[in-house]
Amino acid sequence: MNFEELKIIEPILKALKKENYTEPTSIQEKAIPLILNKMDVLGSAQTGTGKTAAFAIPILQHLFLDHHRKSKPQKIKSLIITPTRELAIQIAESFTTYGQFTGIKNTVVFGGVKQGPQTRALHKGVDVLVATPGRLLDLINQGFIKLNCVEYFVLDEADRMLDMGFINDIRKIITKLPKRRQSLFFSATMPQNIVDLSRTILINPKKVAVSPVSSTAETIQQSLYYTNKSSKKDLLFHILQDKKINHVLVFSRTKRGADRIARNLKKQNIIAAAIHGDKAQGNRQKTLTKFKTLELRVLVATDIAARGIDIDKLKYVINYDIPNIAEMYVHRIGRSGRAGEKGNSISMCEPEENIYIKEIEKLIDQKIKVIKENPFPQTDKPMTAKEKRELAKAKEQKKQAFFAAKKRKKQNKSNSSKFSKRNKKQI
């Protein structure tokens, strides 16, 4: 099965190709045709199974095709609610990625940060809104958001929503939605209270289910170094002194981080290269081929770029940082140990990431072996909430200053070009 067979339209196919998605995952194969047929869907699946694309792709397709028929600019036509800020950001990024050639706009709102940037983004007009329940209700109550044009509604990670006490918020949100809409409801588990909730949202739903992602972790040997942020570069070099690790995929959360890691390794005469979304497709393909043919010892990749990578004989995965979504960890380490090979994963955890390790161990239901012989042990403490707030504030100020400087530069440029035109006329 491929995406063409699922009748995905060209602008979305183009984005999927760019992301190196060669074939749909099980949940996508099952859910996409139903959603394209405008059915309500009750999906039993969790993060890591490709669930986001399973609903984002057909929603983008509906919106794109609807657009030509009845364009209602500046109205939210699709609402996705999800329990956590991390998931919300990730879902919005997925809509941006899969919808990059459709012109369909999305934005994301979540609590715990100032609402100004979010309301400004909403004011510009969006087709798709991804939200956590509390902030969504807040902005509805303040009149910044209207849901009366929503045609496609997704409730994501329903069981976590209930666990986190969002049930009343969800009920209130549902009352604001038009009755005529398509609804999709996803949950990793389906206890009775979730089924009951789904009945209040869905009409004649079709059911789809895929097995949980956490099980893949059992077959892979996992180890963990607790270290400091500043020691990671040296620790990675130390780990790679082991000549057994001769073909390894290193994960980095950010694109810039991936470039930096590859650069540092090259300085140490380790043959490495990075791939991520900012590299041209041809360049990515070339790097990947070099890695597959063992010309490269180390490939550094971001999560998104690594998704399309399928290397049968890969034995080692290194997590240079710990993913903040536990399922992502399972996905990362699942890149190794394919086609009967023994898989090994090595994770490098800095103090701020200690909490993610706890969440991962809960998901995979096992403790990850901590390496004691560690020349760079963790000595720093995680930041306090106040320190984190201050850091975020400083970063925001730096960003604002950067954009203000850019705006000033643009303004100066346009003023000087007006001036020179006027001068030319006078001459």
Positions in the binding site for ligand AMP (CB under 6 A): 21, 24-25, 28, 47-53, 303-304, 307-308, 331
Q: Shortest gap between Cβ of 158 and ligand AMP (angstroms)? A: 15
26 vs 221 by CB, closer to ligand AMP: 26
56 vs 272 by CB, closer to ligand AMP: 56
Residue pair 365/329 in contact by the 8 Å Cβ criterion: no
Q: Shortest gap between Cβ of 181 and ligand AMP (angstroms)? A: 22
In degrees rounded to 5, what are phi and psi of residue 338? -95, 170
48 vs 235 by CB, closer to ligand AMP: 48
**C-alpha span between 380 and 321 (Å, rounded):** 16
Q: Shortest gap between Cβ of 2 and ligand AMP (angstroms)? A: 10
Q: Shortest gap between Cβ of 224 and ligand AMP (angstroms)? A: 22
- Runs of H (alpha helix) within 133-231: 133-141, 158-163, 167-175, 192-199
Assign 296 to helix, strand or coil.
coil
Amino acid identity of 198? S
Q: CA dist 154 to 83, 91, 177, Å? A: 12, 11, 12
CA dihedral 229, 234, 237, 241 (to 10 degrees): -120
CB atoms within 10 A of CB 402: 10
Q: Shortest gap between Cβ of 84 and ligand AMP (angstroms)? A: 12
Q: Shortest gap between Cβ of 322 and ligand AMP (angstroms)? A: 16
21 vs 110 by CB, closer to ligand AMP: 21
181 vs 335 by CB, closer to ligand AMP: 335
Amino acid identity of 85? R
Residue pair 288/301 in contact by the 8 Å Cβ criterion: no
36 vs 235 by CB, closer to ligand AMP: 36
Amino acid identity of 372? K
Record the tokens describing residue 194, joined without a space: 């979730």
Q: Shortest gap between Cβ of 3 and ligand AMP (angstroms)? A: 8
308 vs 377 by CB, closer to ligand AMP: 308
C-alpha neighbours within 13 Å on the C-beta side of residue 310: 7
Assign 189 to helix, strand or coil.
coil
Q: Shortest gap between Cβ of 308 and ligand AMP (angstroms)? A: 5
247 vs 307 by CB, closer to ligand AMP: 307
Q: Which residue is nearest to ligand AMP (CB)?
A: 52
25 vs 344 by CB, closer to ligand AMP: 25
Record the tokens describing residue 318, joined without a space: 């290194």
**C-alpha span between 416 and 423 (Å, rounded):** 10
**C-alpha span between 58 and 38 (Å, rounded):** 9
53 vs 155 by CB, closer to ligand AMP: 53
Angle CA 140–145–147, to nearest 5: 95
Record the tokens describing residue 191, joined without a space: 């206890």
Q: Shortest gap between Cβ of 251 and ligand AMP (angstroms)? A: 11
**Each residue of 110-123: b (16+ CB within 10 Å) or e?**
bbeeebeebeebbe
Q: Shortest gap between Cβ of 24 and ligand AMP (angstroms)? A: 5
